C-alpha cells in the first residue's frame, strides 16, 4: 500500500481491501516515524485527518465516493485550510490558524473526499530553491539526507519521495513544483496559468503563482489535476473554460510527436550527468516514435534577470499586508504605529523574504520603474513570443528541469545569485504562463535527474500523455530511496 499508485489505492478502497481510516493511519505512522529525520511536515493533526477518513469511509459505504475519496494527501503549507495552522514557512504566520479553505483545499476535502495528512514544510513564502529559508528549518532529501530536496515545495517533495504520503500539492512561481520533483525523483506538474484557482493560496507573485500536483507518476498527477482545476469567481485571474478529463489521453501512442529541443537548454551550464540522463530520455522517446527537432528560445538567458524584477515587485506589494494588525506576527515592544510595522516586519520575515521585498520596493520606486519593471515586462513579452515561435515547429519542448542534481545543505545558502540560477530552465515557463512538468529520467552520482516537459497553453493532457508513455517504457519513477522503509 505504501508504494501503491492512486489508481491502486482507489481500487483497494472501493473493494474494501482497506478502509480510508486504515490507510490514513498507515501514513500517519510513517510520518511519526520518519518525519523527525526529514522535517517534511510542519503540522500534523491525526485526529483531524482520521475524522476526514471516517467521512470518506461513510461515503464509500454509501456508494457516493469519487475516484480519490479516502486517499490521503499532503498539503503544501501555502494553502489555507480551515482549522489548520497555515504558516507559509514563516514566523510571520507561525500561529495563524486559517479561518477558511483555499479553493483547492475545498475541492479536495469536499467534492473529492480526499484526506489531508498535514501541512508540508516550504521555503518562507515560497521564496527559495532549497527549502532552507523555512522558519521551521530545512527539509532533508530522502535520497541523501545531507542534501536539499529543492524548493520551494521541498516538504511536499520529500514527503512523497519517502512515501509519507501517496501524493502532495505544490505551487510553482519559478520552478517550485518542477525543481523539487526533479531533485526527489517525482513527477510534478505546473498547469497553465489560470487553470488552478489561487484563492486561499498565499500570494507570492500573483501573475506567476500556480498550484499543481506532485506524485509518483503522470497518471497520479492526471487524477489529482482533475480534482484541482476549475473556474473560480473568487480568483480574478481564474479562467472560465470547459472542464477536461486530464487522464483522457494518457495512453495515446507517441508516433509522430515532434519534440523541440531548445539549443539554449543544451549548451554550457548544465552538469554532464544531468545532460547524459536527459539525452538518454530523448533517445527513448525516439524509440517510442517521436522525432526531435532543434528549436531556439533566444531570450531565455534573460528569464532569471526579468524574473528577479517581476516576482519581487509583485511580492513587495503582496507582502505589504503583513503589518501586524489583522493577522500574523506583531512585535512585543514598539513606540508608535510606524515602529510597530517596522519591528513586526523586521522580526517576522526571514532574510530572503526581506531581500525580495527590498528589491521589489526599489524597482517599483519613482525613477527606477521604467528602467527595471517596465523593461522586465518587455523582456517577458520577448520570452513568451519565443515559445510561440518554437511551438510552430514542435508539439512539446524538452530539456533538463534543473542544471544539477540535489546540492548539499548550506552549499548555496550564502549566495543568493547561485541559488537563483538553479531555476534557470524553469522560470521562462512561468513568465510565459505555459504548463510544464518534471519527470524522473535517471540518476547521476546516485541522485535523481528530472526531464522537463513544456507544453503549449492548455496542453496539460498532452504533457501527461507524453510523460505517461515514457513511464510505461521506463521504471525511473518507480525507484525509491533507501533508508526510508
Partner 1 sequence: MSLTLEQVQRIAHLARIEISESEARTTQSHLNGIFQLIEQMQAVDTRGVEPMAHAQELSQRLRPDAVTEENRRAAFQAVAPETEAGLYLVPKVIE
| Piece of the chain touching partner 1 by CB under 8 A; list 16-24, 110-118, 427-435, 442-450 | 427-435
401: closest CA among 417, 421, 423?
A: 423
Size, binding site for partner 1 by CB under 8 A: 71
Is 367 a binding residue for partner 1 by CB under 8 A? The answer is: no
State which of residues 239, 282, 292, 444 lies at the interface with partner 1 (CB under 8 A).
239
Q: Which residues, listed in sequence order, are joined to residue 347 by a DSSP beta bridge? A: none
Give the helix/strand (H/E) hosting 306. helix 303-318
Residue whose CB is less far from partner 1, 361 or 474: 361
Phi, psi for 241 (deg, rounded to 5): -145, 160
Output DSSP code: residue 372: I
Residue whose CB is less far from partner 1, 188 or 191: 191
Q: How far is the CB of 453 from partner 1 (least distance, A)?
A: 18
| Piece of the chain touching partner 1 by CB under 8 A; list 218-226, 316-324, 396-404, 446-454 | 316-324
State which of residues 44, 45, 282, 327 lies at the interface with partner 1 (CB under 8 A).
327
Q: How far is the CB of 317 from partner 1 (least distance, A)?
A: 11
State which of residues 302, 397, 427, 464 lies at the interface with partner 1 (CB under 8 A).
302
Which residues are tagged catalytic?
76, 152, 176
State which of residues 79, 349, 425, 476 lies at the interface with partner 1 (CB under 8 A).
349
Could you write out the DSSP letters of every residue in 116-145?
EEEEE--SGGG--SSSTT-TT----BTTBT
Phi, psi for 147 (deg, rounded to 5): -115, 160
Could you write out the DSSP letters of every residue in 154-192?
HHHHHHHHTTSSSEEEEEESSSTTHHHHHHTT-EEEEPP
Chain positions 205 to 224 lying near partner 1, rule: CB under 8 A, are: 207-208
Chain positions 62 to 121 lying near partner 1, rule: CB under 8 A, are: 96-97, 99
Residue whose CB is less far from partner 1, 234 or 248: 234
| Piece of the chain touching partner 1 by CB under 8 A; list 145-153, 163-171, 265-273, 431-439 | 431-439
205: closest CA among 96, 363, 437?
A: 363
Q: Which three cell numbers stand for residue 448?
A: 535523481
Chain positions 139 to 168 lying near partner 1, rule: CB under 8 A, are: none
| Piece of the chain touching partner 1 by CB under 8 A; list 120-128, 146-154, 249-257, 335-343 | 335-343
Q: Three-class SS of residue 165?
A: coil
Is 362 a binding residue for partner 1 by CB under 8 A? The answer is: yes
Q: Three-class SS of residue 300?
A: helix
Largest pairwise CA distance in the chain = 70
Q: How far is the CB of 182 from partner 1 (least distance, A)?
A: 22
Binding mask 270-299 for partner 1 (x = CB under 8 A): -----------------------------x
77: closest CA among 167, 171, 9?
A: 171
Burial 31-41 (b: 16+ CB within 10 A, else e): beebbeebbbb
Q: How far is the CB of 366 from partner 1 (least distance, A)?
A: 10
Q: Three-class SS of residue 294?
A: strand
State which of residues 72, 149, 211, 324 lies at the interface with partner 1 (CB under 8 A).
324
Instruction: Please answer whether residues 75 and 100 qualify as being in contact, where contact means their C-beta atoms are separated by less than 8 angstroms.
Output: no
Is 183 a binding residue for partner 1 by CB under 8 A? The answer is: no
Q: How far is the CB of 362 from partner 1 (least distance, A)?
A: 5
Is 328 a binding residue for partner 1 by CB under 8 A? The answer is: yes
Is 458 a binding residue for partner 1 by CB under 8 A? The answer is: no
Is 335 a binding residue for partner 1 by CB under 8 A? The answer is: yes
Q: Which residues, listed in sequence order, are joined to residue 171 by a DSSP beta bridge? A: 211
Is 304 a binding residue for partner 1 by CB under 8 A? The answer is: yes
Cα separation, 189 vs 183, whole angstroms: 14
Is 26 a binding residue for partner 1 by CB under 8 A? The answer is: no
Residue whose CB is less far from partner 1, 219 or 352: 352
Binding mask 380-409 for partner 1 (x = CB under 8 A): xxx-x-------------------------
Cα separation, 232 vs 278, whole angstroms: 37
Is 257 a binding residue for partner 1 by CB under 8 A? The answer is: no
Is 2 a binding residue for partner 1 by CB under 8 A? The answer is: no
Residue whose CB is less far from partner 1, 246 or 322: 322
207: closest CA among 236, 181, 187, 179?
A: 236
Q: How far is the CB of 415 from partner 1 (least distance, A)?
A: 8
Is 193 a binding residue for partner 1 by CB under 8 A? The answer is: yes
Q: Is the peptide bond before 152 cis (omega within 30 degrees of 0)?
A: yes
Residue whose CB is less far from partner 1, 233 or 294: 233
State which of residues 23, 114, 376, 451 lies at the interface with partner 1 (CB under 8 A).
376
Cα separation, 464 vs 436, whole angstroms: 10
Angle between helices 20-38 and 154-161 (to 10 degrees): 120
User: Side-chain half-sphere of 99: how many Cα atoms within 13 Å?
Assistant: 3
Angstrom CA distances, 461 to 2, 296, 395, stand at 27, 24, 12
Cα separation, 58 vs 65, whole angstroms: 9
Is 343 a binding residue for partner 1 by CB under 8 A? The answer is: yes
Instruction: Please answer whether residues 444 and 277 qualify as being in contact, where contact means their C-beta atoms are separated by less than 8 angstroms.
Output: yes
Amino acid at each position: 500500500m505504501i508504494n501503491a499508485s492512486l489508481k491502486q489505492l482507489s481500487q483497494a478502497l472501493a473493494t474494501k481491501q482497506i478502509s480510508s481510516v486504515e490507510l490514513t493511519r498507515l501514513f500517519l505512522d510513517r510520518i511519526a516515524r520518519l518525519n523527525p529525520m526529514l522535517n517534511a511536515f510542519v503540522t500534523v493533526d491525526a485526529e483531524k485527518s482520521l475524522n476526514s477518513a471516517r467521512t470518506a469511509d461513510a461515503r464509500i459505504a454509501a456508494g457516493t465516493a469519487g475516484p480519490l475519496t479516502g486517499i490521503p494527501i499532503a498539503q503544501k503549507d501555502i494553502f489555507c485550510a480551515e482549522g489548520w495552522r497555515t504558516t507559509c514557512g514563516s514566523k510571520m504566520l507561525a500561529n495563524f490558524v486559517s479561518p477558511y479553505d483555499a479553493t483547492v483545499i475545498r475541492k479536495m476535502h469536499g467534492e473529492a473526499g480526499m484526506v489531508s495528512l498535514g501541512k508540508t514544510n516550504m521555503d518562507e513564502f515560497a521564496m527559495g530553491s532549497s527549502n532552507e529559508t523555512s522558519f521551521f528549518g530545512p527539509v532533508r532529501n530522502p535520497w541523501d539526507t545531507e542534501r536539499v530536496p529543492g524548493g520551494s515545495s521541498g516538504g511536499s517533495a520529500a514527503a512523497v519521495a519517502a512515501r509519507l504520503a501517496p501524493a502532495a500539492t505544490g505551487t510553482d512561481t519559478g520552478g517550485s513544483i518542477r525543481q523539487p520533483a526533479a531533485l526527489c525523483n517525482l513527477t510534478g506538474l505546473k498547469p497553465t496559468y489560470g487553470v488552478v484557482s489561487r484563492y486561499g493560496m498565499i500570494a507570492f507573485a500573483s501573475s506567476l503563482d500556480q498550484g499543481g500536483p506532485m506524485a509518483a507518476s503522470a497518471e497520479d498527477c492526471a487524477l489529482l489535476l482533475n480534482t484541482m482545476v476549475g473556474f473560480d469567481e473568487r480568483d480574478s485571474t481564474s479562467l472560465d473554460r470547459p472542464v477536461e478529463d486530464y487522464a483522457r489521453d494518457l495512453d495515446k501512442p507517441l508516433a509522430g510527436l515532434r519534440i523541440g529541443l531548445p539549443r539554449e537548454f543544451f549548451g554550457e551550464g548544465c552538469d554532464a550527468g544531468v545532460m547524459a540522463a536527459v539525452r538518454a530520455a530523448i533517445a527513448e522517446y525516439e524509440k517510442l516514435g517521436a522525432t526531435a527537432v532543434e528549436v531556439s528560445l533566444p531570450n531565455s538567458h534573460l528569464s532569471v534577470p526579468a524574473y528577479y524584477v517581476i516576482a519581487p515587485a509583485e511580492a513587495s506589494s503582496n507582502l505589504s499586508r503583513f503589518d501586524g494588525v489583522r493577522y500574523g506576527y506583531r512585535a512585543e515592544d514598539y513606540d508608535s504605529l510606524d515602529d510597530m510595522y517596522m519591528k513586526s516586519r523586521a522580526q517576522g520575515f526571514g532574510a530572503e523574504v526581506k531581500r525580495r521585498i527590498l528589491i521589489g520596493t526599489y524597482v517599483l520606486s519613482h525613477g527606477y520603474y521604467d528602467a527595471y519593471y517596465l523593461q522586465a515586462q518587455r523582456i517577458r513579452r520577448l520570452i513568451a513570443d519565443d515559445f510561440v515561435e518554437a511551438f510552430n515547429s514542435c508539439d512539446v519542448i524538452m530539456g533538463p528541469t534543473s542544471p544539477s542534481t540535489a546540492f548539499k545543505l548550506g552549499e548555496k545558502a550564502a549566495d543568493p545569485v547561485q541559488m537563483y540560477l538553479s531555476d534557470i530552465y524553469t522560470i521562462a515557463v512561468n513568465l510565459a504562463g505555459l504548463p510544464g512538468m518534471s519527470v524522473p529520467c535517471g540518476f547521476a552520482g546516485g541522485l535523481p535527474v528530472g526531464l522537463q516537459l513544456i507544453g503549449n497553453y492548455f496542453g496539460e493532457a498532452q504533457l501527461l500523455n507524453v510523460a505517461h508513455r515514457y513511464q510505461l517504457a521506463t521504471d525511473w519513477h518507480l525507484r525509491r530511496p533507501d533508508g526510508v522503509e
